[in-house]
Amino acid sequence: MAVQTIDVKVASNGRMILPLAVRKAMGLQGDAKVILTVEDDQVRLSPIGHGVSRAQALYREHVKQARTIDDFLSERKADAVADAGEVTSANQSAAAE
């Protein structure tokens, strides 16, 4: 992608208008949300969908095994039951002393 530099006026209340060419290049239509990333004295705008897509791609890249939400929830329930058992055992041991 070619780098473009465009001067944009920032109003005293902080508002600015993104030129149509920028909105088109970013794939923004109508009301849209963007992510502002501030690094040192520079700001980068990214469509919010790009952040989600990047996060999903990173997850897929680093996931060790395919898991569904149901798998995750089942594991969490099993962990909760195990934790509750440990608490109960600890309470019983303390009561026996």
What are the φ/ψ torsions at residue 31 (nearest 5 degrees)? Answer: -70, 130
Sign of CA dihedral 35, 38, 41, 44: negative
Residue pair 19/6 in contact by the 8 Å Cβ criterion: yes
CA torsion through residues 61, 67, 68, 73, sign? negative
pLDDT, residue 7, reads 92
Residue 90 has pLDDT above 60, yes or no: no
Q: How far apart are CA 22 and CA 4, in angstroms?
A: 9
Model pTM above 0.75: no
Mean pLDDT of 84-93: 65
Q: pLDDT per residue over 37-76, tens digit each?
A: 999 999 988 888 777 777 888 888 887 777 788 988 999 9
